[in-house]
Amino acid sequence: MRSRERVFWVIACGALAVLAWSGRAARPMGAPPVARPRSEPGPRVTMAALHQQGGVPLGWQLRVPPGNVDAGRASFDALGCAACHRVAGETFKSAVPQPVGPELTGMGSHHPAAYFAEAVLDPDAVLIDEPGYIGDDGHSIMPTYADVTIGQLSDLVAYLGSLRDGGSPSCHGSAAAGPGAGLEITTVSLRDRPLPPSPAAHAFFAQDYDLLPGQVEGFEEWFGAHGRAGFLDAEGLVSLDTFVDASRASHALTTVFGFRDEAALRTFLGDPAMADLWQQFDAFVGPHGHIAADQPLVYRVPALSGN
């Protein structure tokens, strides 16, 4: 072997050794590697179809690789997250008596994995508009974590997603402080939009969601046997419709409840007798959103439609 080739291989082998050592040093000596499961295979699509669909498959959403809950809990503590966020029932070395950030107890019941990942990578993506969450510069007071690895991020998201509560979902059956206490009615602007037909309902509540894997038939059976009658028995409920929008990246199903007036809507959401029905409903769905509004949220425009 010529001397120039020998020098090249010595340098190459040395570089590989450095990389191997740096990978080993990334975790504590003697600590076993973190076991992370593989993701389920996603949809298959040709490149031509991908381009025709806007660059992403229909229904696409960012998917965070599966993580390890125990490793995520350890990273949550090591990164100092407990210095700002409280988790009921958990004890952390980095915890402080009065954390200033949002409490994370039960957060896994209310947000998808991609939301948690974005909150860690870009705290300014969604600003909590309440005292103590936004600094004088207009940015989130949460620090950024530019050095977090993909593995750590996956583990953190897995841990946050595991923080689930067993109580009634927000807006459902919360009668302790009176019917619909704390409910905000959104005023929907119809400026530069076709007006809806004159409806019998004058207050609306919508829940947008995705069904859990394999739950379509079970949900339809439950709704036909129990859900429909249980909801329609509510005083002041005048309409109940569910829509599917397959073009949406997530929360493709929307169920809209229409009420005679705002008082009926508030009574419905604050009725403790409805709490069990809501828990049965939500057992079929993943993280979801709610909105109460003074106008129909989805409606047909006859002037822009066919027969």
Q: Given pLDDT bands bounded at 50, 70 and 90, which one contains residue 8?
A: very low
Hey, what's the torsion of the CAs at 141, 144, 150, 155, to 10 degrees? -30
CATH for the stretch 50-161: 1.10.760.10
pLDDT at position 38 is 82
Residue 217 has φ and ψ, to the nearest 5°, of -65, -40
Give yes or no for residue 179 having a pLDDT over 50.
no
Statement: the pTM of the whole predicted model exceeds 0.85: no
Q: Given pLDDT bands bounded at 50, 70 and 90, which one contains residue 230?
A: very high
In whole angstroms, what is the distance from residue 307 CA to residue 301 CA?
11
Six-digit token pair at 129? 């508009």
In whole angstroms, what is the distance from residue 155 CA to residue 64 CA?
10
pLDDT at position 62 is 83
Please tell me the least confidently modeled range out of 4-8, 222-226, 274-278.
Answer: 4-8
Among 88-97, 255-264, 287-296, the range of highest mean pLDDT = 255-264
CATH for the stretch 185-300: 3.30.70.100
Give yes or no for residue 175 having a pLDDT over 50.
no
Nearest CA among 93, 198, 99, 107 for reference residue 141: 99
Q: Are strands 253-259 and 237-244 parallel, antiparallel or unpaired?
A: antiparallel
pLDDT at position 33 is 66
Higher per-residue confidence, 26 vs 236: 236
Give yes or no for residue 153 having a pLDDT over 50.
yes
Listed in order, the ranges of the chain carrying CATH 3.30.70.100 are 185-300
Residue 119 has φ and ψ, to the nearest 5°, of -65, -35
| pLDDT tens sequence across 247-256 | 777 788 999 9
What average pLDDT score do residues 7-34 get? Answer: 44
pLDDT at position 277 is 92
List CB contacts of 20: < 8 A, sequence separation 6 or more: none
In whole angstroms, what is the distance from residue 11 CA to residue 124 CA?
44
Q: Given pLDDT bands bounded at 50, 70 and 90, which one contains residue 298?
A: confident
Q: Given pLDDT bands bounded at 50, 70 and 90, which one contains residue 20?
A: very low
pLDDT at position 166 is 57
The residues pairing with 207 across neighbouring beta strands, listed in sequence order, are 255, 290
Per the CB < 8 A criterion, the answer to whether 152 and 36 are in contact is no
Six-digit token pair at 21? 């050592």
pLDDT at position 35 is 75
pLDDT at position 110 is 79
In whole angstroms, what is the distance from residue 75 CA to residue 31 CA?
14
Give yes or no for residue 10 having a pLDDT over 80.
no
List CB contacts of 36: < 8 A, sequence separation 6 or more: 65, 66, 67, 68, 151, 154, 155
Nearest CA among 298, 288, 110, 106 for reference residue 210: 288
Place of tokens 């569910």: 242
The residues pairing with 185 across neighbouring beta strands, listed in sequence order, are 292
3-state secondary structure of 203: strand
In whole angstroms, what is the distance from residue 294 CA to residue 203 CA?
5
In whole angstroms, what is the distance from residue 145 CA to residue 116 CA?
13
Higher per-residue confidence, 98 vs 73: 73
Q: Given pLDDT bands bounded at 50, 70 and 90, which one contains residue 172?
A: low
Give yes or no for residue 7 having a pLDDT over 60.
no
In whole angstroms, what is the distance from residue 147 CA to residue 127 CA?
22
| pLDDT tens sequence across 28-86 | 444 456 777 788 887 788 888 888 878 877 777 788 899 999 999 999 999 999 888 88
pLDDT at position 97 is 86
In whole angstroms, what is the distance from residue 62 CA to residue 289 CA?
18
Listed in order, the ranges of the chain carrying CATH 1.10.760.10 are 50-161
Give yes or no for residue 13 having a pLDDT over 50.
no
Six-digit token pair at 218? 């079970």
